[in-house]
């Protein structure tokens, strides 16, 4: 939304020219209206702006608001308005909203819905977080498998206005079991008297998930088969809901964000950064920092145990940070590739030995290049500045670099796959975790080589 439009809308709101404001909002897309409403600092004006929306679009706009704005509105509007709003919302949007707001708001909402809606909402709220059940909606087009195309289109015309999507229709039998899918496109392009059974996709092409499946799996299926919606079935294969592509796109973003956070050793949070208070931010960060801080003291002990020798041989100490950082970075690179590959399904556990063999070859190449560059740097430095770094020290450092890179690459490709094997999240085996392990091992190797050669 551009600045001029925003200023125009604010001016209309301030001058209380509500008819003009309403007319202006009517021309705008729902996400833009929601953006405008969320930008209003004053709660009174926020609620006012929401209330003057045309009745048929207020639920659509509400679904695009963040939970703070949703909560403010529901607290301020009348019971009658709440009833109408919840009635107009798709079930998945209503549930998303109720999952985020405090208990008193949930109570106000449930008190103002009819028994049937209340039961549906309560059932949805019971599905585990991040399950297909918690992400689905019930507003889908259900067609009976003994209908014809003509009957199906007539049904869609009658009921379609309340459906979240009509582009993929689901065929059910008398027992409500999912028996086939038909894209609306196929209905439009076929003759009126074609039986649905002749054109619906069934057998192997009938893809569905069950209510307790993880949403990540739903996203993977939608991506693989390019679906606009994924049907959700219960244990008896009865159709209970669908998950539409707009929600799947959100799931894809959420899952990637979760991986980014886990890889940086943050406790995943579903809230946006700017909306999270500092205590929560601190809490989400502290546990892993503590664990790794304590682990890093082992590396410290290793250095301390070698301190006498370090003090006597010039140049050995100065290379410690370089070795640690290079090992850490090299490990981080490969673990990132493996974690992402596992997440996208491009790498499987069974590929481990192919990965390992690749990494061994890559690490030899990378290690030798880095250690040649380092030798050049150290010789050059000695030549220009002087200093008493011996050839022996240069050799030790170069060998240690190759070893550190190899250890880092091997650990970096192994740990995420082991995590996957143990049904842990591979994303935890990312940079920081690997760095801590690689640090200790590569310093041990460094000092052993030094002991042996000098």
Per CB under 8 A, which of residues 42..61 are in contact with a second copy?
Answer: none
Residue 70 makes contact with a second copy by CB under 8 A: no
* Residue 265 is a binding residue for a second copy (CB under 8 A): yes
Residue 336 makes contact with a second copy by CB under 8 A: yes
Minimum CB–partner distance for residue 271 and a second copy (Å): 10
Q: How far apart are CA 335 and CA 262, in angstroms?
A: 13
Q: Which of 20, 52, 212, 266 binds a second copy (CB under 8 A)?
A: 266
Sheet holding 209-210, edge to edge: 209-210, 229-233, 239-244
| Interface residue with a second copy, options 354, 379, 380, 424 (CB under 8 A) | 354
Please provide the size of the chain in residues: 454
- φ/ψ of residue 313, rounded to 5: -105, 115
Contacts of 57 (CB under 8 A, 6+ apart): 26, 30, 33
Q: Is 311 in the site for a second copy (CB under 8 A)?
A: yes
Kindly state the smallest distance separating residue 128's Cβ from a second copy, in Å.
25
- Among residues 44, 104, 122, 297, which is the contact residue for a second copy, using CB under 8 A? 297
Q: Which residues 6+ apart lie within 8 Å of 156 measured at CB?
A: 141, 166, 169, 184, 187
Among 23, 365, 380, 453, which residue sits at the site for a second copy (rule: CB under 8 A)?
365
Residues near 429 by beta carbon (within 8 Å), at least 6 away in sequence: 335, 339, 415, 416, 418, 419
Each as own residue / partner, the long-range contacts of residues 315-320 (CB below 8 Å, 24 or more positions apart, any chain) are 315/378, 315/387, 315/388, 315/389, 315/390, 315/393, 315/394, 315/397, 316/393, 316/396, 316/397, 316/450, 319/397, 319/400, 319/446, 320/443, 320/446
When asked if residue 140 is in the footprint of a second copy (CB under 8 A), the reply is: no
Instruction: Give yes or no for residue 317 binding a second copy (CB under 8 A).
Output: yes
By the 8 A CB rule, do 242 and 229 touch? yes
Q: Does 375 bind a second copy (CB under 8 A)?
A: no
Q: From residue 331, how far is each of 26, 54, 309, 337, 338 by CA, in Å?
A: 54, 56, 28, 10, 11
For a second copy, the closer CB: 14 or 307: 307
Least distance between a second copy and beta carbon 48 (Å): 21
Instruction: Work out whether 333 is an interface residue with a second copy (CB under 8 A).
Output: yes
- Within 230-249, which residues bind a second copy (CB under 8 A)? 245-246, 248-249
Report the alpha-carbon distance of residue 109 to residue 211 in Å, rounded. Answer: 25
- Minimum CB separation of residue 272 from a second copy in Å reads 5
When asked if residue 282 is in the footprint of a second copy (CB under 8 A), the reply is: yes
How many residues bind a second copy (CB under 8 A)? The answer is 114
Using CB under 8 A as the binding rule, the residues of this chain from 432 to 451 that contact a second copy are 432, 435-436, 439, 443
Output the smallest distance, CB 82 to a second copy, in A: 24
Query: Which residue among 119, 122, 128, 185 contacts a second copy (CB under 8 A)?
Result: 185
Interacting span for a second copy (CB under 8 A) from 43-51, 70-78, 82-90, 155-163: 155-163
Which positions from 376 through 415 interact with a second copy, judged by CB under 8 A? 377, 401
The angle formed by the CA atoms of residues 264, 273 and 76, to the nearest 5 degrees, is: 150
Judged by CB under 8 A, the residue of 149, 196, 370, 399 near a second copy is 370
CB 227 within 8 A of CB 245: yes
User: Where does this chain touch a second copy (CB under 8 A) — which range of 23-31, 121-129, 172-180, 231-239?
Assistant: 23-31
Among 184, 200, 394, 403, binds a second copy (CB under 8 A): 184
């Amino acid at each position: 939304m551009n600045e001029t439009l925003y200023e125009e809308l604010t001016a209309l709101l301030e001058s209380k020219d509500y008819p003009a404001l309403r007319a202006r909002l009517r021309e705008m897309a729902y996400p833009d209206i929601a953006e405008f409403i969320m930008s209003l600092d004053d709660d009174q004006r926020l609620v006012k702006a929401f209330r003057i929306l045309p009745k048929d679009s207020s639920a659509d706009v509400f679904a695009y608001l963040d939970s703070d704005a949703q909560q403010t509105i529901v607290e301020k509007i009348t019971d009658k308005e709440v009833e109408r709003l919840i009635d107009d919302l798709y079930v998945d949007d209503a549930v998303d909203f109720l999952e985020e707001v405090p208990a008193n708001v949930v109570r106000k909402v449930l008190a103002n819905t009819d028994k049937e809606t209340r039961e549906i909402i309560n059932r949805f709220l019971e599905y585990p977080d991040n399950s297909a059940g918690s992400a689905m909606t019930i507003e889908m087009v259900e067609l009976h498998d003994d209908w014809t195309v003509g009957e199906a289109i007539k049904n869609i015309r009658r009921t379609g206005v309340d459906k979240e999507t009509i582009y993929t229709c689901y065929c059910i039998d008398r027992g409500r079991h999912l028996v086939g899918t038909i894209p609306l496109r196929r209905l439009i392009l076929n003759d009126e008297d074609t039986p649905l059974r002749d054109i619906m996709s069934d057998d192997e092409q009938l893809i569905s998930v069950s209510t307790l499946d993880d949403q990540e799996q739903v996203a993977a299926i939608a991506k693989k088969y390019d679906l606009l919606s994924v049907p959700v079935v219960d244990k008896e294969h009865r159709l209970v809901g669908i998950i539409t592509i707009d929600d799947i796109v959100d799931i894809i973003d959420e899952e990637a964000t979760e991986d980014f956070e886990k890889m940086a050793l943050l406790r995943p949070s579903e809230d946006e950064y700017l909306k999270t208070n500092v205590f929560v931010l601190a809490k989400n960060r502290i546990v892993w920092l503590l664990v790794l801080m304590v682990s890093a003291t082992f590396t410290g002990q290793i250095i301390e145990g070698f301190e006498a020798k370090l003090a006597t041989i010039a140049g050995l100490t100065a290379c410690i940070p370089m070795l640690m950082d290079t090992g850490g970075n090299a490990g981080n690179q490969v673990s990132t590739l493996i974690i992402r590959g596992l997440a996208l399904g491009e790498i499987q556990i069974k590929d481990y030995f192919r990965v390992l063999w690749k990494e061994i070859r890559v690490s030899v190449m990378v290690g030798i290049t880095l250690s040649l560059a380092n030798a050049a740097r150290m010789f050059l430095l000695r030549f220009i500045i002087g200093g008493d770094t011996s050839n022996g020290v240069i050799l030790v450092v170069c060998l240690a670099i190759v070893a550190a890179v190899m250890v880092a690459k091997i650990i970096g490709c192994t740990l995420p796959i082991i995590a996957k094997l143990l049904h842990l999240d591979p994303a935890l085996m990312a940079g920081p975790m690997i760095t801590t392990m690689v640090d200790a091992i590569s310093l041990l190797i460094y000092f052993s080589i030094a002991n042996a050669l000098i």
